[in-house]
Amino acid sequence: MKIKYLIILILFTFPVELVGQKRSEVLKKQERVLLKKIENTKSLIKETQKNEALTISQLSIIKNQISYREELIRNYNAQIKKLDQNINDINRQVYSLSNTNKILIEEYKNMLLYAFKNRDPNYKFLYIISSSTFSEAFHRMKYIQHYANYRNKQVERIKKTQELLIEKKQTLKAELNIKEEVIDVKNEEKNNYIKDKSTQEEYLLKLKNNESNLVLELENNSQKRREIAKAVKKAIAAELKAIEAKTKAKFKLTPEGLALSANFRNNKGKLSWPVERGEITGKYGKHRHHVVSTATIDNNGIDISTTKQALVRAVFGGKVTSVMVIPGAGKVVMVSHGEYRTVYANLQEVFVRKGDQLEIKESIGKLLLNENGISEAHFEIWKISSDGMNTENPSYWLSR
């Protein structure tokens, strides 16, 4: 009964191990994603450091990197906690297997002792013929056979238990080594985090010392966004007017347009990014600036810092409805997706024309080069409804 209980206890831990393995895989996947993001921010910071001019986007990039490092440290803590759980589980299994092994050996010793005491070759014969009935004799003969078989199986059980015990001890050693490695990596990441915080403080001090330049930069960016919004509204209004003049009726989506709108809407949170890789350095909506407390930012979209003159691509399939040139914002492309419009600004070159049908991730153009040595894509999402034209937060629409 003791053996059965211990074996059941060991087997019961197997489903727990499978769940723990899946959790570990999720944590490792998250770690890889975060490391990739940090590599991206490091690359952008390295590019910006080649130029003496310090901009708001540089501060935002280092801020994002600090956020990723914090998340990565939390991830390592979770990995260490999971490894501790694994180590405790394996220790329990090793303890159970050791006890099982002791019990099996003790039982086998008792069987050998019993066999030694009853080693007289006539004993089995006398034990069988001393039965009072033929049926009892038959059962006694079967008992002797079963006992011999059980003794042989006991040897196999001991062997298998010992093999499993060795395997568990090796697994335990491996888990302890992995834990030490994760702790080392976590400590290294903590040091990187402290260095980034120091760099952030340095950037903040430099920017505040040049607050007049910072205010001017903010005003230029605000003016650029206002010009983009004005041009987009004008282009959409002209588009709707042309449709109404052609159909002699108020604008209404066709069945094809309704299907395209639904398809676009169903992909909320899953849209491709307008650049292959980048960091959101300008968030959507109206908010107080994090450096100049007196300044208020009103952004109809998001700003994504990326590698210099990176290619901009369509986030979803659609039709090019406008290609505009806006002073300070370069060339601007607007793509229709039923009742939705995506806007791509800060382009130096444009590879598409009005009326072109685009596929997902198809190249639209190349970005302007900023004074800090990198490029910044400005991306907006607009929705046309009976209430008029309204912007959406692109951060909620792009793939996480």
To 10 degrees, the CA torsion angle through 59, 62, 66, 67? 70
Distances (CA, A) of 172 to 10, 176, 270: 15, 6, 41
Q: Looking at residue 284, what DSSP letter applies?
A: S
Classify residue 23 by burial, with Cβ atoms within 10 Å: 0-12, 13-18, 19+.
middle
144, with CB counted inside 10 A (0-12, 13-18, 19+), is: middle
The sign one gets for the Cα dihedral 268, 274, 275, 280 is negative
How much is the pLDDT for 125?
47
Q: Give residue 47's pLDDT.
A: 84
Name the one residue in this structure whose structure tokens are 């350095």: 281
Structural domains of the chain in order of their starting residue, each with its CATH number? 2-208 (1.10.287), 211-397 (2.70.70.10)
pTM, two decimal places: 0.74
161 three-class SS: helix
Instruction: Answer left, alpha or beta for residue 144, where phi above 0 means left and psi between -120 and 50 means alpha.
Output: alpha
Residues 292, 336: contact at Cβ < 8 Å?
Answer: no
What are 345's strand-pairing partners? 378
Q: Which residues of the chain have pLDDT under 70?
A: 1-20, 51-53, 108, 111-112, 114-131, 134, 136-155, 248-249, 293
How far is 336 from 354, CA to CA, in rounded Å? 11
Q: In this structure, is the dihedral angle defined by the CA atoms of residues 387, 391, 394 and 398, taken in order, positive or negative?
A: positive
Region for 326 from its dihedrals, namely left if φ exceeds 0, alpha if ψ lies in -120 to 50, beta otherwise: beta
d(CA 173, CA 171): 5
Which are the contacts of 368, defined by CB distance < 8 A and separation ≥ 6? 309, 330, 346, 347, 348, 375
Look up residue 270 and give its two tokens. Answer: 């899953």
Radius of gyration of the chain from Cα atoms?
Answer: 36
Judge whether 82 and 20 are in contact, CB under 8 Å: yes
Biggest CA pair distance of the chain:
116
326, 227 in Cβ contact below 8 A? yes
Q: What is the dihedral of CA 169, 175, 181, 185, to 10 degrees?
A: -170
**293 with 204: CB under 8 angstroms?**
no
| Residue keyed to tokens 């003016």 | 223
Helix axes 56-117, 134-209, angle to 10 degrees: 160
